[in-house]
Amino acid sequence: MLYREALNRAIDDVMRIDPDVVVLGEDVGLYGGSYRVTEGLVAKYGERRVIDTPIAELSIVGNAVGMAIGGLRPVAEIMTANFSLLAFDQIINHMSKYRYMSAGKITLPMVVRFPQGVSRQLAAQHSESYEQMLSAVPGLTVFAANDVNYAYHALKKAVLMDDPVIFIEHELLYNKKGDVDFNAELDPFKARIVKEGEDITIVSYLKMVDDVMASVGKIEESLKRSCEVIDLCSLNPVDYDTVAKSLKKTGRLVVVEEDHKTGGYGAQIVSNVCEELFYMLDAPPLRIAGEDVPIPYNRTLELLSIPTPDKIAEKITEWGRRNGL
């Protein structure tokens, strides 16, 4: 099953069991979504439950907030994270705060989904990542799906939660293949051990997990050490217990992220580890992130602006040698 098919199946399954689940966004109905995630749903559930909206992101999320207050379970799709900036007032000032400001009298069972990240020559205005801003907003749960099985189960559970969820996808993962265990009881808040190892803990999320996995062979061959790779899955809250258990074995932390390094999400992971797990560390943590530049259109420059498997392998190997590996 493809990543986008797993997301489609998750929405289909919850729409079938709960008539209060509705989908809204630009081209989600007749067109089936920009990345075909909502393909076929309007034929099954009709235009009252799969709603094509105008190109108006603030209105999409604002309407979803109103629907959630009124008792529905809306799943709002924003075409890309870059356009979500137009909806940040609704996300930050309304979606995240109504439960708290109403002393729990109002719940918002709603999901806002969008893809983000560097795709292929979409240039600066269509290649951003905003997990660092959204994960810093109290009241929002933030999931980031790399794995096909996780994408299915986490989205399904997100829609059935009674609190608002930001569900982040990556534009280059929609055609990723994987198996889905439909009978599994997956906890969407728990980090995923992608590969076990003994000497280096590499923490990542979204597409960078795949780039890390593509680099691990070179790292292990160069350093003659093994890497443990963790997919965070939930960016807020973070499963620090899984990170701590890994660091207890390895004593060395690397965080790999695609967004810009200054103010990037990985800084929060490193900060928490230094504050809470400092005495587990045998070396200073390493952060590998995107450059602090708008993402270029030129393909050569675009690849220079983000981590790639070769760069990840080179930087971890160099860091490992400097720190006794």
- In the set 5, 26, 57, 171, the catalytic residue is 57
Query: For the chain, where are the alpha helices, taking DSSP H only?
Result: 3-17, 41-45, 57-69, 81-84, 88-90, 98-101, 131-134, 148-160, 207-223, 240-250, 266-276, 299-304, 309-322
Q: How far apart are CA 187 and CA 183, in angstroms?
A: 13
- Cα-Cα-Cα-Cα dihedral sign, residues 184, 190, 191, 197: negative
Q: 302 an active-site residue?
A: no
- In the set 94, 126, 153, 170, the catalytic residue is 126
Given a contact cutoff of 8 angstroms between Cβ atoms, the answer to whether 301 and 236 are in contact is: no
Long-range contacts of range 132-137, CB-CB < 8 Å, 24 or more positions apart? 132/259, 132/263, 132/264, 132/265, 132/268, 133/88, 134/91, 134/166, 134/168, 134/236, 135/235, 135/236, 135/265, 135/268, 136/236, 137/91, 137/92, 137/96
Q: Kindly report the CA angle at 74 between 69 and 77, in degrees rounded to 5?
A: 130
Q: 57 an active-site residue?
A: yes
Q: At what angle do helices 309-322 and 207-223 cross, to 10 degrees?
A: 50
Catalytic amino acids?
Answer: 57, 126
